[in-house]
Amino acid sequence: SNISSTSSASGRHNVVRAMVGRELACSEEGFQRRQDERMEQVRQIASLTEQVAQQNADIHAMATELTVGRLNIAELQKELDKANTPKRARKELDKVPQADTSKKTRKEK
């Protein structure tokens, strides 16, 4: 009687051990799967962070080009304004040879 109760206790112990083992294996498997999912998310976040950093650098470069372009436009506008002043225009006109508009006849010249 003692042996049968021992063997049945041992049998129950083995069943419990097997159940616990399966649960541990399942929970370890689940844990490992969640770890893998988290690592994949971390990789995705790192990749997106890198993309955003590159886009920010591109935007900064474009903003710099735009600023330089605006400065160039401002310089050109100053040059244009200088060229369009009446005094400057008169000076330029004075350099151009003018036709003789006097009323003298050919003989008098």
Query: How does pLDDT run across 25-79, given as a tens digit for each residue?
Result: 888 888 899 999 999 999 999 999 999 999 999 999 999 999 999 999 999 999 8
- State the sign of the Cα–Cα–Cα–Cα dihedral 98, 101, 106, 109: negative
d(CA 42, CA 64): 33
d(CA 30, CA 24): 10
Residue 107: what pLDDT? 59
Residue 4: what pLDDT? 57
Q: Is the pLDDT of residue 108 over 70?
A: no
- Residue 12 is encoded by which pair of tokens? 């129950």
Q: Is the pLDDT of residue 106 over 70?
A: no
Residue 102: what pLDDT? 62
* Torsion angle (degrees, nearest 10) of CA 92, 96, 99, 103: 50
Contact 60, 66 (CB under 8 A): no
